[in-house]
Amino acid sequence: MITSKTKYALKALTVLADEKAGNGESLRIEEIAERSGAPKRFLEHILLDLKRAGLIGSRRGRRGGYELIKDARTISLAVVLRLIDGPMAPLPCLSRNAYRRCEDCIDEETCRVREVFGGFYSAYVLMIESLTLADLQRDVHQLEQLIEP
């Protein structure tokens, strides 16, 4: 399950991607919060994390604000999930980026728990790593079209 923080990050990125595709101007944090439904105080920390990761940039001044600096088709949802929530693996011994041997494990090769969760996790990782911000954007717009009368 993803956290609220990750959900808000994905929504904010979608808003910024829409803006980039539209007129390409920077958005103030208040505008991003309003459009994404994220609380402004919570969003400030998220946007800083996204900026440090090089996904978004910021401008100062009258036309200042945040903007997407990467193409939405190149931003993997898995990257955002790991950035905000940390490792996605259900067990530390399955993590690619934060591998740790399980303290109670005698032999990883014969561990039944690792085997079962490893199969599930591999399928999940393949799917989530293939999805991009552009996919999320497209799905959101398709959903909006179905909802509108």
* Residue 69: pLDDT over 50: yes
Mean pLDDT (the chain) is: 87
Per-residue pLDDT of 101-134, as tens digits, reads 888 888 888 888 888 889 889 888 888 899 999 9
Within a domain: 85: no
Within a domain: 44: yes
Within a domain: 39: yes
Within a domain: 58: yes
Within a domain: 124: no
Q: In a 3-state reduction of DSSP, which class is residue 145?
A: helix
CATH of the domain at 42: 1.10.10.10
End-to-end CA distance of the chain: 32
Per-residue pLDDT of 51-68, as tens digits, reads 999 999 998 877 789 999
CA-based Rg of the chain, rounded to a whole angstrom? 18
Buried b (16+ CB within 10 A) or exposed e, 86-116: ebbbbbebbbeeeeeeeeeeeeeeebeebee
Within a domain: 36: yes
Q: How many domains does the chain have?
A: 1
Within a domain: 32: yes
H-type alpha helices, 23-90: 29-36, 40-52, 77-85
Q: Are 9 and 50 in contact (CB under 8 A)?
A: yes
What pTM was estimated for this model as a whole? 0.82
Within a domain: 136: no
Chain centroid to CA 34: how far?
Answer: 19
| Residue 31 burial (CB count, 10 A) | 15
Residue 25 structural domain = 1-75
